Structure 1
Amino acid sequence: MPDAITCYTAITFAPVQGFIEKSRKLRDLYGSSFILSYLANALCQAVKDSTEHSLISPALIDVTQGTPNQILIAGYFPEQQAQTIFETAWSQLIQQCKAWIQQNLPEFDYCWRREWSLWTTHAWEFFWTTGMTIQAARENLNDVKHSRDWTGINWMGESSTLSGADGVAFPGMGRKVNPKYHPIRYESDKVRRYYENLSRRDGETQFTDETNIDAFLRSEIAAFYAALSQHPELGSATISEREQLSIPELVKRLVTIEAIARPLKLEFPESFKDISRWQDYDANDTNADTKKPWTGWFCGDGDRAGDYLKQLSGQPNEPLEIATFSTTMRQWGNTLQRTFRNGRIIYAGGDDFLGVFNRTRSELKAQECLDWFYRFQPNVWDRPEAKPITASVGFVWAAPGIPQREVLQQCRDAEKAAKAEGRDRLALRVLFNSGNYLEWVCPWRFLPVLQDYRDRTPQNGTTTWARIFNDVAMLEARHAFQGKDDKGKPVNNGLEVALALFNAYFNATNSPHTPTAWNEADKQEFYCLMSPERQDNFPPNYWEGDGLWNLYGGANRYDAKNSQRLKTGILGDRANYTSNRQSDGILDTAKAKQALTNWIINLAKVGFHLCSDI
């Protein structure tokens, strides 16, 4: 056994993102978040109560929700003990849900103990490792996660209508015997005899040789979900009678009712009501679908948090610094949940968060979402104190007909795009019912450019993005932005045209009504980059100017003590545009030119959909 003083233990479990994203209702999201936080908190509390170990991260605050699922412990915490704590917490939760159903719906004959038992033991992967240093423990945990050892659950019959990946939970789900061990003919006879005996309890049997057993089982499923939807503690808002859920999906819904959540000390939101499909329209109107509102979803994550923690490695106060960072992020997440007034925060687990903008009495406008993002970095992320890491966020403005699970995936993809473009920025994505989308990725410090748009000839004193949108469409139709690469493939490298278009509609004096939206230094740097005087044949010094590339203040990009942080550029890391993928390599100006052209084109397209009152 490793030495209890010099050893560190790291623990996590999976799945996390997949567990959250398989969701149809807002309750699924909340339920998933509750369960993940509950399981992580159970491990953390056990460590806290131990006299032989100390919890380094995550920090424990008065709120269970949002507890991150990666746990770091000072000392050797035995694997079997940790796994037993985790499995006991999950078993208590799942058995409590099962008992609630059987107690509240006693009219059904339950034959599903084996299926619930399988989900008790095979729903999660548990990862445990140790290291002689904190960094070694983290790296070992990542290595362990690469070698998965998960046992899937085989199922028969109908599949879940939510994910399609598991069997439908209903009282008789255990009566179908696995054909691997019994012939199908024997199974059919056994099921038939069971239902013949069951039906005789109330009189003459309903079964004949022509009875369709599968149809009879489907009727039992329908009756079960109808009973769930009509129960006063659930209702159709929690479980619709048209739904057919697997056991874990059913558990996600049940943990959101008071009878189950309160004993688990899970914090309730004010309401679980689904995100507004704003109802102030006539549902009988043939054009009702076109009048339904769009919704705004966002998810974000701290940039290179692992690298920040790695740079603390070996310092005498490393455990304290990590604990302080964890406390800061958990308190920030808790504050975000309590103070967000523009909708709802589904979860905020440290530096990882998911939320949705919502209006209940009127239609949500995209501009309201943008107004919050303009203030995000100074008023949200860096309050009450500046964070040692930056944040990247993906925002999706989604059409009303898109399933929630698809919107969530698009949010994740938008967040990844923000990170891939250089981090410390916002990816704005407009998602249409067809599944197509438009996207524009911008550093936080240059985001106020959206407020600087003005029509050259406004109508009735108002401006509209329709003019620049139409100009872009016309220029694209005429291939004005296009050239050809060295292989003859068309590319958008008409930067001269794109910049001329930009300067026709944007300038530094266009936003007198929002003087605080821009940081003055950032504003000057941005418009100097876009200035026509800088674009004369694009001399070499143009491509090395401020505002294009990410810059770091000092060798250590995460030196919070000395405020040495990332300074973002429009195109992100210069290394992505060099032949040898090194930041000091020879720049591929054609590639950079193409990227900046696309940035301006996408600004016009996304701005039209988000900044126009449409």
Structure 2
Amino acid sequence: MKTKHYFHFTIGPVQGFVAQARRTRDFWAGSFLLSWLSGVAMQASIDQGATIMFPAKNDHYLDWLTGRKKGGSGQPRQGSIPNRFKAQIDSDFKTEQVTKSVQTAWKALADQVYKNDIEDALIKGGISSDETKKIWERQIENFWEISWAIAESKADSSILDERKNWRSHMPPPEPGVKCMMMDGWQELSATPTPHSKGLSSFWDAVRGNGQKGMLSDLYDGESLCAMSFIKRRFVRYFNELKDIKMPGGWALHGWKLAPGIPSVSYLAAVHWLEEVMRKAQNGSNVEGLLSKFNKQAYELTRERGEWDTEIKCIQDLVKSQKAKEWSSHDGNVFFPAVLENKRLYPDLDKARAVVNVLKQLSKAVELPEATPFYAVLMMDGDRLGKHMGDVDKQESISTALDKFTRAVPGIVYDHNGFLIYAGGDDVLAILPMEDALKCALQIKNKYDACFRETNVPTSLSGAVEYAHINMPLTSVLFDAHDLLDTIAKERTGRNALAVRVWKPGGTALQWAQPWEVVVDTANKRTIALENLVDVFRHADEDDPCFSSKFFYKIRERFDLLNPEQPDLDPILQFDQRVDLMAMAYINSGKTRETGGKQKTVDEVKKKITPLITQCTPHYRDGDGTLHAGNCLAADGALLVRFLSQKGVAR
């Protein structure tokens, strides 16, 4: 009888590969590739008779990976397999077969990209490929950090973390000009200085190689390392991975991947575009203006960068070739400030023509300019790792997480977003700013439902970053991790939601509350903050409710109501704060005649009360008890104003 052991596997670096991104596509590609390679390792283990214990084995994904499923629809598009797993193995299990399978798969994909995009371009351009080939092979062979450990006990869950502490992976030094996406890695031209002619000649040859999608995949002036270049281009060749022989005898297959990954600027403009398209299809003069915009935008860019992008609210309106063309432009063309960037659009006359018709469109549909803000949503389970150490809970946790992971893509799509990753208890998505909070709540509710019958006390915390399209995406992603871990989990006590707003000048505001405060008490499927946003957004000029004047002075008013030190007793109790702020609200503008002052005050207090609740920081202690802070924080009110104005001050 063979002795049973337990194989723990992980692959990285996660942050060094996934989070270093210049575009949404880079972000998605890093997550997809890491998940794919983890799937390869999982299949290489199964091929030796291993039983996957955690996470739950994703048969649908592995069927595509091994070619058991081909053609049709349903191809995996998002990373859904975590970068670590645990399997039960026999004593004759060969760990080197797993690591070699990962390297074989990675090299097969890299070879496809190099041959089609680099090698042919250099031959056509008469450029020597010797040094580039050396850089490519060095980076491809030495990038991945693969760690594994074998435990004798099923309950030993720390052995892999102990193994990773050895730090046996040491990549060779990287000389020369560095990659513009991934810090520290040499770009592929092998030129010694960033301003040498050879650098531009090399990348001009690659960009002009005539391969499909190259002009939109590689911006003019970009220089990348091997890993970054693969992130940009692998989607064009992933389907060409067919019957790749793997150690152990099984065959690896790729599948067709849609290249349409929405840019952050496109996601920011989605609801503006939706409204314009809706009015154009209703037979107004907007159709003529939109067709004019479509023509001039194409003349400027010579491409339709979002042709393959699928965002629900836009897809619902695409019923013709004309509508498809309307919806297919790169998101930058919806923003006059971006169109005036000479580096992006050197033909100023064509750019200004697009700006002019864009302004005409906004006027015709009676809409302000599209908001330049989008949202990054990051969510993570609370204290689930602690429960995974209990072998009696592992199966029920794996089952619950599998249900949760399968449900998340549909939730994100229904909220007009794009899912980057959903695996285990982690979720990462990018959405229009208008949909992020609703999406976060529905994902949280689904997580709770999946764990309801497991008797595992876990919850889901979330972080929403509202970021301006000019903010570096990598910075936003790194900050989202801090917002989730430090603010939502540590400071607010888990089972919480934290929000930050990033403007070009830096952080504008930060707000966090436990989910019990976030969710509206009268309707558990709505968010209290968004109900306040609706009140402010629909207030007319005669109603001082949440007027700009009221918000403008709210920080200094709160300072007067707060004790000198946060740990001191509050100067006023909650009801007294509401009364005082209600009077300040009334005095901030012209009050309607509503049948007497007392009735007006009562109406105002109904609106002020939930605002004061959202401006009172709450936190959960170590025992899970909810506490209200002694100070009022103006950022709650300022977030209401930000969301109601969609980030554009008026």
Q: Please report the TM-score for the alignment, with normalisation by the length of structure 1.
A: 0.69
Instruction: Tell me which residue corresponds to 1:372.
Output: 439
| CA positional deviation for 1:163 | 3.4
| 1:14-73: CA deviation from partner (whole Å, max 9, x where unpaired) | 21122111100122112101210111011111222223x212223223135321111111
Of residues 178, 187, 212 in structure 2, which corresponds to 1:159?
178
Q: In the aligned structure 2, how far is the partner of 1:397 from the partner of 1:104?
A: 42
Q: In the aligned structure 2, how far is the partner of 1:306 from the partner of 1:47?
A: 23
- Range that drifts further, 601-610 or 417-426: 601-610
| CA positional deviation for 1:468 | 5.0
SS in 1 for 2:172: coil
Instruction: Tell me which residue corresponds to 1:194.
Output: none
2:554 counterpart of 1:472: yes
Instruction: Tell me which residue corresponds to 2:517.
Output: 446
**1:276 counterpart letter in structure 2:** S
Preserved contact between residue 571 and residue 596 of structure 1 (Cα < 8 Å): no
Instruction: Tell me which residue corresponds to 1:127.
Output: 147
Q: In the aligned structure 1, how far is the partner of 2:334 from the partner of 2:154?
A: 55
**2:167 counterpart letter in structure 1:** R
Preserved contact between residue 239 and residue 257 of structure 2 (Cα < 8 Å): no
| CA positional deviation for 1:397 | 0.9
**1:32 counterpart letter in structure 2:** G
- Within 5 Å, give how 1:168-183 maps onto structure 2: 168-170=187-189, 172=190
- Range that drifts further, 99-108 or 343-352: 99-108
Instruction: Tell me which residue corresponds to 2:106.
Output: 90
- Range that drifts further, 122-131 or 370-379: 370-379
Q: In the aligned structure 1, how far is the partner of 2:448 from the partner of 2:334?
A: 34
| CA positional deviation for 1:234 | 3.0
Instruction: Tell me which residue corresponds to 2:621.
Output: 573
Q: In the aligned structure 2, how far is the partner of 1:101 from the partner of 1:259?
A: 13
Provide closer, same or farther for how the CA distance between residues 385 and 345 of structure 1 changes in structure 2, counting only shifts above 3 A: farther
Instruction: Tell me which residue corresponds to 2:291.
Output: none
- Within 5 Å, give how 1:559-598 maps onto structure 2: 570-574=618-622, 595-598=629-632
Instruction: Tell me which residue corresponds to 2:641.
Output: 608
- Within 5 Å, give how 1:219-234 maps onto structure 2: 219-230=197-208, 231-234=210-213
- Within 5 Å, give how 1:385-424 maps onto structure 2: 389-416=458-485, 417-420=487-490, 421-424=492-495
**2:115 counterpart letter in structure 1:** A
Q: Which runs of 5+ in 1 are unaligned?
A: 177-213, 359-365, 486-490, 507-526, 536-546, 548-568, 576-582
Instruction: Tell me which residue corresponds to 2:498.
Output: 427
Instruction: Tell me which residue corresponds to 1:496.
Output: 572
Q: In the aligned structure 1, how far is the partner of 2:376 from the partner of 2:468?
A: 11
SS in 2 for 1:460: coil
2:253 counterpart of 1:268: no
Instruction: Tell me which residue corresponds to 1:510.
Output: none
Q: In the aligned structure 2, how far is the partner of 1:503 from the partner of 1:376?
A: 36
Aligned residues: 479
| CA positional deviation for 1:129 | 0.9
Provide closer, same or farther for how the CA distance between residues 291 and 160 of structure 1 changes in structure 2, counting only shifts above 3 A: same
**RMSD after superposition:** 3.8
Preserved contact between residue 26 and residue 275 of structure 1 (Cα < 8 Å): yes
2:368 counterpart of 1:349: no
Q: In the aligned structure 1, how far is the partner of 2:113 from the partner of 2:406?
A: 30
Preserved contact between residue 405 and residue 424 of structure 2 (Cα < 8 Å): yes
Of residues 406, 421, 424 in structure 2, which corresponds to 1:331?
406
- Range that drifts further, 101-110 or 19-28: 101-110
| CA positional deviation for 1:505 | 6.5
Instruction: Tell me which residue corresponds to 2:6.
Output: 8
SS in 2 for 1:408: helix
- Within 5 Å, give how 1:177-196 maps onto structure 2: none
Q: In the aligned structure 1, how far is the partner of 2:498 from the partner of 2:211?
A: 42
**2:9 counterpart letter in structure 1:** I
2:523 counterpart of 1:460: no
| 1:305-325: CA deviation from partner (whole Å, max 9, x where unpaired) | 2122223x2x3xx66435424
**1:483 counterpart letter in structure 2:** E
Provide closer, same or farther for how the CA distance between residues 47 and 482 of structure 1 changes in structure 2, counting only shifts above 3 A: same
Of residues 54, 57, 61 in structure 2, which corresponds to 1:57?
54
SS in 2 for 1:430: strand
| CA positional deviation for 1:93 | 2.4
Provide closer, same or farther for how the CA distance between residues 468 and 480 of structure 1 changes in structure 2, counting only shifts above 3 A: same
Q: Which runs of 5+ in 2 are unaligned?
A: 62-75, 243-252, 270-332, 341-351, 360-367, 521-527, 583-605
Q: In the aligned structure 2, how far is the partner of 1:374 from the partner of 1:73?
A: 33
Provide closer, same or farther for how the CA distance between residues 504 and 5 of structure 1 changes in structure 2, counting only shifts above 3 A: farther
Provide closer, same or farther for how the CA distance between residues 300 and 374 of structure 1 changes in structure 2, counting only shifts above 3 A: closer
Provide closer, same or farther for how the CA distance between residues 386 and 100 of structure 1 changes in structure 2, counting only shifts above 3 A: farther
2:254 counterpart of 1:254: no
Preserved contact between residue 160 and residue 244 of structure 1 (Cα < 8 Å): yes
**1:9 counterpart letter in structure 2:** F
Q: In the aligned structure 1, how far is the partner of 2:398 from the partner of 2:143?
A: 30
Preserved contact between residue 380 and residue 425 of structure 2 (Cα < 8 Å): yes
Q: In the aligned structure 2, how far is the partner of 1:229 from the partner of 1:462?
A: 56
Q: What fraction of aligned residue pairs are identical, expressed as a percent?
A: 18
- Within 5 Å, give how 1:472-551 maps onto structure 2: 472-475=554-557, 479-484=560-565, 494=570, 496=572, 500-502=576-578
Q: In the aligned structure 2, how far is the partner of 1:131 from the partner of 1:265?
A: 33
| CA positional deviation for 1:492 | 8.3
| 1:506-527: CA deviation from partner (whole Å, max 9, x where unpaired) | 9xxxxxxxxxxxxxxxxxxxx9
Q: In the aligned structure 2, how far is the partner of 1:458 from the partner of 1:481?
A: 31
Instruction: Tell me which residue corresponds to 1:299.
Output: 378
Provide closer, same or farther for how the CA distance between residues 374 and 152 of structure 1 changes in structure 2, counting only shifts above 3 A: closer
Q: In the aligned structure 2, how far is the partner of 1:169 from the partner of 1:492?
A: 60
Preserved contact between residue 238 and residue 255 of structure 2 (Cα < 8 Å): no
Q: In the aligned structure 2, how far is the partner of 1:270 from the partner of 1:222?
A: 26
**1:250 counterpart letter in structure 2:** F
Q: In the aligned structure 2, how far is the partner of 1:355 from the partner of 1:131?
A: 35
2:134 counterpart of 1:114: yes
Preserved contact between residue 236 and residue 259 of structure 2 (Cα < 8 Å): no
Larger Rg: 1
SS in 2 for 1:152: coil
SS in 1 for 2:378: strand
2:37 counterpart of 1:39: yes
Q: In the aligned structure 2, how far is the partner of 1:319 from the partner of 1:608?
A: 44
Q: In the aligned structure 2, how far is the partner of 1:495 from the partner of 1:442?
A: 22
Preserved contact between residue 262 and residue 418 of structure 2 (Cα < 8 Å): no
Instruction: Tell me which residue corresponds to 1:24.
Output: 22
Preserved contact between residue 335 and residue 372 of structure 2 (Cα < 8 Å): no
Of residues 245, 248, 264 in structure 1, which corresponds to 2:224?
245
Q: In the aligned structure 1, how far is the partner of 2:95 from the partner of 2:238?
A: 32
- Range that drifts further, 319-328 or 343-352: 319-328
Instruction: Tell me which residue corresponds to 2:80.
Output: 66
Q: In the aligned structure 2, how far is the partner of 1:261 from the partner of 1:134?
A: 39
Provide closer, same or farther for how the CA distance between residues 495 and 355 of structure 1 changes in structure 2, counting only shifts above 3 A: farther
Preserved contact between residue 13 and residue 124 of structure 1 (Cα < 8 Å): yes
Provide closer, same or farther for how the CA distance between residues 379 and 39 of structure 1 changes in structure 2, counting only shifts above 3 A: closer
